[in-house]
Amino acid sequence: MSGYATDVLLVLVLVLVNAAFAGSEMALVSLRESQLKQLEREGGSGGLRLVRLARNPTRFLATIQIGITLAGFLASATAAVSLAEPLVPSFSVFGSAAEPVAITLVTLVLSFLTLVFGELAPKRIAMQRPLGWARVVAAPLDVLASLARPAVAVLGFATDGVVRLLGGRPGDEPEDISPDELREMVRTHRVLNPEQREIITGALELHDRRLREVLVPRAAVLWLDPGMTRSEARDALAESGHSRAPLLSRDNAERVEGVVHWAAVAAGGDDPVAAVATPGLFLPDMLPVDAAIRAFKQARAQLAIVIDEHGQVDGVVTLEDLLEEIVGEIYDETDSDVIDLERSADGSYVVPGSFPVHDLVDLGIEVDDLPQGGYTTVAGLLLVGLGHIPDAPGESLPLTRGWRIEVRAVSAHAITEVCLVPVAEEPVDEA
C-alpha cells in the first residue's frame, strides 16, 4: 500500500473514531430516566456501568469531547500535511496559490466527510437507538474516562467555573418536562394508538379538572323520596336505568339523607326505603378529579353528592363519570345520556347545553380565547357571552376564531341545545 493510500486510510479511520464519539454522546444524552431505572432493576455489570456513566454527564462528556477534539485535530493535520501536498503539482495553473488551493480542497472534502459520516449520520442513528448504542460503548467509554481522569477532572473543574460565572449551578438536574411538553409528546408519539393517547392525555388533565365540570347537575338527577317504599324506589330506579340514587329530605331540599342501591330494593317491599339507605359521600365542587378518585377509593363509594361553596347541593358525580375523564366515554346498557356527535353537511355540531366546555377541543375548537367566567358548559358560556337568559332560539355570538355558537332550544329558562357553526374567516387587509 502506498504512503498516500495509508494517509487516506488513516484519515478515514479518524473520521470513524469521530463518528463513534459523536454517536456515543447523542446516545447517552438521549437515554430516558425510565430506561436507566429499568437497567438498574435488571442488574448486571454492563447495565449498572452504563447507568453510572449516564448519570455523570461531566465525566462522559469531557471524555467524549477529548476524543472528538483529538480525532478532528489529527485528521485535519494529516489531511493538510500528507494529503494536500501531493496535490499541489496538479494545481500548478494557480502558480504560487497552488498549495493554498490544494489545502482548501482537501479541507472541504474532509469537512464534508466529517460532517456527514463523523457527526450527522451517527448522531441520527444513536438518537433513534440510544439504548442499543449506549450498551455497546459503555465499557470502552468507562475505560477511556478512567485513563483520562486527570484531564477530565481539569475540564470538569473549568466547566463548573464557567457555568457559575454564567449564573448556572453545576449540580442542578435538567429541567423537568412541563405538562404541555408531555402532552405534545403524547400527541406526536407514533407508537401510541388513539386510545392510548386519549387515556394518557385524560390522566394528565385530572388535576386541572374540577368536579363542577363533570358532575350531573341537580336538575338532571333522580332523587328518591324518603317516604317511598322499597318497591316504589325499585320501580323508579328501573325506569331511570340507574343502579343507585340519592335520597333527598322532604323537610330540607339541601339535605341528602343517603344513597339507595339497587341491590337493597330489588326484592321490593312496603317498608320505607330510608331504612336501607347508606351514608352518602359529600365532596366540594372545586375538588380536583384526581383527589375525588382517591376519596371514592377510600370511602369505597360509587356515587358522591357534590356541594358548592354555599353548602347547597350542586349535583352528583359517579366513579364512572370520573373514570370517563381518563378513558373516554364508558358505554353500558344503562347509559341514556351518551352524546354521539355527528357533524352536519355544513360542518356544524348540535350539542346539548350541558356539553362540557373542555371537550370543545375534541371538536377542533380552541378554548384559549373564550370569555372569562365560572361556567363549565356551553350553556353557561352562552349566558356569560350574551349577558342575559335567552327566551327563544336564534341568539348567537362569536365563539372563537372560525366558530359561532347559537341557541337552538330553550326550556324553562335553561338553554337545552346549542349549535356550533363554523364561519369563514375574513381575509386580512394588508393595505
Tens-place pLDDT, residues 195-226: 777 777 777 777 778 888 888 888 888 999 98
How does strand 303-307 pair with strand 281-284?
parallel
Alpha carbon distance 58, 71 (integer Å): 20
**Among 332, 371, 335, 365, which residue's Cα sits nearest to residue 351?**
365
Domains of the chain: 3-165 (no CATH), 175-204 (no CATH), 211-327 (3.10.580.10), 349-422 (3.30.465.10)
Residue 141 clears pLDDT 80, i.e. is over it: yes
Alpha carbon distance 180, 158 (integer Å): 35
For residue range 231-287, list pLDDT tens digits in order.
999 999 888 888 889 998 888 878 898 999 988 888 888 889 888 999 999 999 889
Q: What angle, 0 to 180 degrees and rounded to 10, lies between the N-to-C axes of helices 194-204 and 179-188?
A: 170
Which residue's entry shows cell 457559575?
164
Residue 381 clears pLDDT 60, i.e. is over it: yes
Residue-level pLDDT at 121: 92
Residue 349, beta-bridge partner list: 420
For residue range 279-305, list pLDDT tens digits in order.
999 999 889 888 999 999 999 989 999
Residue-level pLDDT at 329: 55
Q: What is the pTM of this model?
A: 0.53
Residue 110 clears pLDDT 60, i.e. is over it: yes
Q: Which residue type is seen at 321? A: D
CA dihedral 341, 344, 347, 351 (to 10 degrees): -40
Q: Which residue would you say has higher pLDDT here, 67 or 327?
A: 67
Residue 124 clears pLDDT 80, i.e. is over it: yes
**Among 360, 401, 398, 400, which residue's Cα sits nearest to residue 378?**
360
Range with the lowest mean pLDDT among 20-29, 49-58, 194-203, 207-216? Answer: 194-203
Residue-level pLDDT at 1: 52
Mean pLDDT of the chain: 82
